[in-house]
Structure 1
């Protein structure tokens, strides 16, 4: 599920770090895979992700899958722009900000939704909340104390 670990390894390879063109090609290969098109064979990890993606999306609620794809796109763009960000020269706070985008932006929520097999946006609609008044009243009293 957490493709960013593999992506980070892929983008961190010496030949990718040494060449802006190669890094951009790899970025484009992952973006192509997210769009459902097989990337060039020279990028086997992106090809593996492409091949696994349909099965993974089948296991998710549709909007969870959409959010997952958005996160993968965002992480891909950020990782592919490391030459532009000069990530090796960043201070700690700047580095953490990029890491939040790469890994933590919405990943925790999406992983939770996937693990619990739910779409939290659907689960938290007003009609669902009205059907569970006891839970809400308990939560409300906790917040008042």
Structure 2
């Protein structure tokens, strides 16, 4: 299968609908979480402006472990409740951070990052991990991004097999 990135058009809400459709097409028929996370990381990284990291951390039963991503090398392990990713995993609520320097306990994997959004990945009440996006721009992410990225995260979670 070949997949061409299609430029996003319209307002940002329309763009996220298109991105969610592209995400669904990418994972269609593929149940492997690593393959789907890798492709979705690339899709997000190359489709969204002002993003310097896009990827996944998976819950191993004890902590978050880095999964497929696009961007600079990342922190490998993050405790639940630590930093933005660990907080999203622990609370199971999307964390939208306009300025990471004001987030208590922020873990600086990339010193260039100024804002971040992390969406928890939960399937059948079980924590799978988180979807994490960073930006070098302060206040890069807003509620439109939150809704759009939560929709992409849902596509990913729905692609997982139960085995």
TM over 0.5: no
Q: TM-score, normalized by length of structure 1?
A: 0.26
Q: TM-score, normalized by length of structure 2?
A: 0.24
Q: Which has the higher helix share?
A: 1
Q: Which has the higher strand share?
A: 2
